[in-house]
Chains A and B, each alone.
Chain A
């Protein structure tokens, strides 16, 4: 799978990546800013995401909301924030490309003059409601926050969730927005991808016209962090929640995105938790019926990853039973590695998942987003083949070694999420934690 593209760096430092795909008369505009919740500081968590909301509230030269003209032109559009980056995208009919470039460049260059207290306060309320809807009012919604807090020390940039703490969101100030914009929302810290039914020379000229005049800005400060100390002894935690069935989360530190062992652990996740043939599903759900659902995944991020196994207890079964069964299943993998059929399956799945992601020019995922991801994370937008080759090169021995090295019992966090009033349903010796 060869994705052809051209790359240009404007004088202000903005990378422009262009990929032609003439299958459908649409074009994806995708902008990445290399800033996420890991650039925040304790006490002001959730800020990068709140800022993302403000990017949709209008800019100096068009101050009536970002959605209106684009939806009227037939665009679909959105944005998202995670620990490492913030992305913004539009998929527009080709005749609206210039409009999308106008709008994206206006908010990159001229957001602050249009920003008001009223907008800021409104979006702070919206974000607090997003937090209520997606975390506070959702079963097991606090588990991710509890795990992050346990895996990383309070001053580590992955200690907090991207949505942030409710009190921190309330404490955010308009002045913080201005400083944040001037530090991180600069062409030098961004990457623009255009993918779709376009002519490269024409759209490069357009992108240069629209984005070229914006001042490049300084290199933002590097994220300073101390790699997390190894977990020397298993950490057992428990959290009471409004849930019917107890759920066990096991989490380990794991390699960063594209680091050595990242692909191996990705495939370990496949073999353990993907589909009915996976070892955990087969043992815990299919054969022993002690769990209602299981999942296993390598979650790799820019400065570190975590591997996670999740299992929900069937009624009448205990988290202690689940834990024993998971340890046994993991043991079979660390003892003798994956089988030949498992290798065939997980490598075919990795290849197919890779293709599924590249079916669209844009949106969440799609070719535009992937070009920017490779550009921001490895400095090479054309990393497609190298990325896929990582999975082809994985050996059974490599997976066995990686799981033995990273997924050790004494190096894990075990979080029990139990129904309210049933603290005893947690694994023995668990320390209660609270998440606000």
Chain B
């Protein structure tokens, strides 16, 4: 067959995709189990979701939730930290723990033939962590050292300063790792109390997926977690969905000076909506057009047209409470002001002056819907998707309604949510870079006097 290079080939009919069958069970102690069969490779993956994260840190103890999750693999049950990791190593285990504002997630993958040992070790960590003083002191020291190292990392400096300004006196206003004074003042007993009151079976969702049957996976989880006492929760975690939206910062421009920095790290944004917004799907489409993928407006402008940066992105960070909308980019120092001007101009334009076109709309929708099955290829991907259902309280048919809901978004909806959820008057522009290379040009931004951020 001779190839016709005068036009691109048409897409064939959309392939049928059946979402993985997710089965649910609940143990007598309240723990919820989701199971997913996945037989492609001889691996299993267990994901434990606790819908409690850094937003539940006590006001005076930023970093408590994170250090608590970090202590879980420092010895548990009969094993000290070294023995525990020796056991993990012998099953080819890969342990990962993540903490965000709203949730703590532990994942343990291993070779399928060691699934029983894997889930037992994970249960030991979650239910019976040792929490020894010497381990606590070592882990705290490592976290303090990490804080020291983050002072050199421009993206970390920018994220922290941005978060603090967007969420003053708010549970979302600190990084999960916390602060030096808080970590120094922390006592092991606080970690123990946090663990006892927050880690309860009725709050935990365990997603088991991989090369085993539903029944086998559920039985593994039940054997490991079945005798976990329901306990009595003495502390009520923060419910992020009830958190207020903080007032916008008074300043509109803030600069953290780093002499000689090779680039300027930019964050432009404001507090936006929560995951529960009815505009969720329209905002996803908007973001695809604006800055969510390579061909989005922001990246095509700042990178492909101007060459100011290696890449620029926007995102609505959906959380249970009102999360941030943010544009981020690392741009060459002498183009800082121009890059900010272009960014602000794009953020304004999509609200109405240069609304989304039919082509852009179709492009954005198609990228989301046609690519959707890719998110369900591996056991761990499926586990993570299932965990989202539990974290955000999404309905069982969430995956199968995603595509029709995205396809129902039209131009008017995108323009409406852009106008409603991107507010140029509230945007904070934050720059971590060499102020001397920007000089008086900062005034061209017309954002008032730049507030100077002292290095942490």
A and B: bona fide binding partners: yes
**How far, in Å, is B92 (CB) from chain A's closest CB?**
3
Contact in complex: A99, B379 (CB < 8 Å): no
Chain A contacts for B12, CB-based, 8 A: 94-96, 98
Q: Is the beta-carbon distance between A25 and B295 smaller than 8 angstroms?
A: no
- Taking the closest CB of chain A, its distance from the CB of B376, in whole angstroms, is 6
Give the CA-CA distance A69 to B310 in the complex, in Å. Answer: 21
Per-residue CB contact flags for chain A residues 125-137 toward chain B (1 = under 8 Å, else 0) read: 1101110111011
A69 touches B8 (CB 8 A): yes
Contact between A352 and B17, CB atoms less than 8 A apart: no
* Distance, CA A344 to CA B90, complexed state (A): 6
A302 lies within 8 A of chain B by Cβ: no
B18 (CB) vs chain A CBs: closest residue: A25
Check B330–A93 contact: CB distance below 8 A.
no
Give bound CA distance, A21 to B38, whole Å: 13
B194 to chain A, nearest CB (A): 22
Question: Taking each of B9, B261, B303, B376, which has the highest tally of chain A beta carbons within 10 Å of its own beta carbon?
Answer: B9
Q: CB within 8 Å of B: which of A62-94? A: 62, 65, 67-69, 71-76, 91, 93-94
Q: Total interface residues on A, using CB and 8 Å?
A: 83
**Chain A's nearest CB lies how many Å from the CB of B278?**
25
B41 close to A26 (CB less than 8 A): no
Residue A226 at the chain B interface, CB threshold 8 Å:
no
Q: Are A122 and B145 in contact, with the CB atoms below 8 A?
A: no
Q: Is B394 an interface residue (CB 8 A)?
A: no
Q: What residues of B have a CB within 8 angstroms of the CB of A99 in the complex?
A: 8-9, 11
Measured between beta carbons, the chain B residues less than 8 angstroms from A282 are: 82
Report the contact-size class of chain B (Cβ under 8 Å from the partner): 35 or more
The answer to whether B376 and A244 have CB atoms under 8 Å apart is no
Known A71-B293, A74-B367: A277·B3 in contact at CB below 8 Å: no
Which of the 9-residue segments A30-38, A354-362, A396-404, A423-431 touches chain B? A354-362
Which residues of A have CB within 8 Å of B5? 60-61, 102, 106, 110
A349 to B92, CA, bound (A): 4
Establish whether residues A21 and B40, one from each chain, have CB atoms under 8 Å apart when the complex forms: yes
The segment from B26-34, B150-158, B161-169 found at the interface with A is B150-158
Q: How many Å lie between the Cα of A73 and that of B371 in the bound state? A: 7
Tell me, yes or no, whether B366 is within 8 Å of chain A by CB: yes
Minimum C-beta distance from B52 to chain A (A): 25
Residues of A within 8 A of B82 (CB): 276-277, 282, 286
Is A245 positioned at the interface, with any CB of B under 8 Å from its CB? yes
Q: Is the interface of B mostly helix, strand, loop or mixed?
A: mixed
Contact A289 B141 (CB under 8 A): yes
Which residues of chain B in 1-30 are interfacial with respect to chain A, using CB atoms and an 8 Å cutoff? 1-3, 5-6, 8-9, 11-17
In the complex, the answer to whether A292 meets B366 with C-beta atoms within 8 Å is no
User: Does the CB pair B293–A351 fall under 8 Å?
Assistant: no
Whether A43 is near chain B, meaning CB under 8 Å from some CB there, is no
Contacts A68-B295, A286-B138, A352-B92 hold; do A93 and B310 have CB atoms under 8 A apart? Answer: no
Q: Is B160 an interface residue (CB 8 A)?
A: no
Asked, given contacts A24-B373, A133-B263, A341-B90, whether A244 binds B148 with beta carbons under 8 Å apart, the answer is yes
Q: Are B366 and A122 in contact (CB under 8 A)?
A: no
Chain A's nearest CB lies how many Å from the CB of B396? Answer: 21
A409 at the interface (CB under 8 A from B): no
Name the interface residues of B340-387: CB closer than 8 Å to any CB of A: 362-363, 366-367, 369-374, 376-380
Per-residue CB contact flags for chain B residues 94-117 toward chain A (1 = under 8 Å, else 0) read: 100000000000000111000000
Complex Cα distance, B143 from A289, in Å, reads 13
Say yes or no: is A406 at the interface (Cβ < 8 Å to chain B).
Answer: no
B378 pairs with A245, CB closer than 8 A:
no
Pick the residue among B13, B309, B374 that contacts A91 (CB under 8 A): B374
Q: Of A24, A76, A95, which contacts B13 at CB under 8 A?
A: A95
When A and B form their complex, what is the total count of cross-chain residue pairs whose Cβ atoms lie within 8 Å? Answer: 217
Flag A94-109 by CB within 8 Å of B: 1 or 0 each: 1110110011011000
List of B residues within 8 angstroms of A132 by Cβ = 262-263, 330, 332
Q: What residues on A are CB-neighbors of B15 within 8 Å?
A: 25, 93-95, 197
**A212 and B11 alpha carbons, distance in the complex (Å):** 22
Interface centre among A124, A128, A286 (most CB of B within 10 A): A286
A24 and B366 contact, CB distance less than 8 A? no
Give a binary string over B299-342; 1 marks a CB under 8 Å from any A CB, 0 the rest.
00001110111100000000000000000001110000000000
| Pair A348/B1 contact, Cβ less than 8 Å | no
Please give the distance in Å from A187's CB to the nearest CB on chain B.
15
- A346 and B88 CA atoms in complex are apart in Å by 11
Is B92 in contact with A348, judged by CB distance below 8 angstroms? yes
Q: Specify which of A71, A130, A358 is in contact with B294 (CB 8 Å cutoff).
A: A71
Q: Are the CB atoms of A93 and B88 closer together than 8 Å?
A: no
* Bound: A286/B14 CA distance, A: 54
Q: Which of B81, B263, B366, B377 contacts A137 (CB 8 A)?
A: B263
Q: In the complex, A274 Cα to B85 Cα: how many Å? A: 10
Known: A72-B367, A275-B89, A351-B111. A126 touches B152 (CB 8 A): no
Q: How far is the CB of B332 from chain A (nearest CB, A)?
A: 5
B219 beta carbon closer than 8 Å to chain A: no
Contact of B146 with A24 in the complex, beta carbons under 8 Å: no
The reply to whether B90 and A348 contact each other, CB–CB distance below 8 Å, is yes
Tell me whether A65 and B304 are in contact in the complex, defined as CB-CB below 8 angstroms, given that A102-B3, A286-B81, A351-B92 are known contacts: yes
Check A245–B145 contact: CB distance below 8 A.
yes
CA distance A60 to B154 in the complex (A): 40
Does B42 reach chain A (CB closer than 8 Å)?
Answer: yes
Q: Is the CB of A95 within 8 A of B14?
A: yes
A390 within 8 A of B: no
Please give, as numbers and ranges, the residues of chain A lying within 8 Å of B372 by CB-CB distance.
74
Enumerate chain A residues within 8 angstroms of B6, measured Cβ to Cβ: 61
What distance in Å separates the Cβ of B407 from its nearest Cβ neighbour in chain A? 13
Chain A, Cβ-Cβ closest to B371: A74
Residue of B nearest to A21 (CB): B40
Interface flag for B291 (CB, 8 Å): no
Q: How far is the CA of A130 from the CA of B367 in the complex (A)?
A: 25
Taken together as a complex, chains A and B put the C-alpha atoms of A173 and B305 apart, in Å, by 20
Measured between beta carbons, the chain B residues less than 8 angstroms from A25 are 15-17, 373
Across the interface, which residues of A come within 8 angstroms of B370, CB to CB? 72-74, 93, 96
How many whole Å from A371's CB to the nearest CB in chain B? 16
Q: Provide the residues of chain A in CB contact with B43, threshold 8 Å.
A: 352, 355-356, 359
User: Within residues 381 to 430 of chain A, which ones have a CB less than 8 A from any CB in chain B?
Assistant: none
Is A355 a contact partner of B41 (Cβ separation < 8 A)? yes
**Does B449 count as interface, using CB distance less than 8 angstroms?**
no
Query: Whole-angstrom distance from the CB of A108 to the nearest CB of chain B?
Result: 13
On chain A, the residues within 8 Å of B380 by CB distance are 359
Contacts of A243 in B (CB 8 A): 149, 152
Q: Per-residue 0/1 for A289-304: is the Cβ within 8 Å of any B Cβ (1 yes, 0 no)?
A: 1001000000000000
Any B CB within 8 A of the CB of A314:
yes
| List of B residues within 8 angstroms of A276 by Cβ | 73, 81-82, 85
Please give 17 more A-B residue pairs, beta carbons under 8 A apart, in addition to A93-B370, A130-B310, A352-B43: A25-B15, A26-B373, A73-B11, A93-B371, A93-B373, A94-B12, A99-B8, A102-B8, A105-B3, A124-B307, A209-B1, A276-B85, A285-B142, A352-B111, A358-B41, A359-B43, A359-B378
4 A-B pairs closest in CB distance: A74-B370, A352-B92, A125-B307, A25-B15
Enumerate chain A interface residues (CB-CB to B < 8 A). Answer: 1, 21, 23-26, 60-62, 65, 67-69, 71-76, 91, 93-96, 98-99, 102-103, 105-106, 110, 121-126, 128-130, 132-134, 136-139, 197, 205, 209-210, 213, 242-245, 274-277, 282, 285-286, 289, 292, 312, 314-315, 341, 344-346, 348-349, 351-353, 355-356, 358-361
Can you show 27 pairs from A to B with CB atoms below 8 A apart? A24-B376, A71-B295, A72-B363, A74-B367, A74-B371, A94-B15, A95-B12, A95-B13, A99-B11, A105-B3, A106-B5, A124-B307, A128-B332, A129-B309, A133-B330, A137-B263, A213-B3, A242-B260, A275-B88, A276-B82, A348-B90, A349-B92, A351-B111, A352-B91, A352-B109, A355-B92, A359-B380
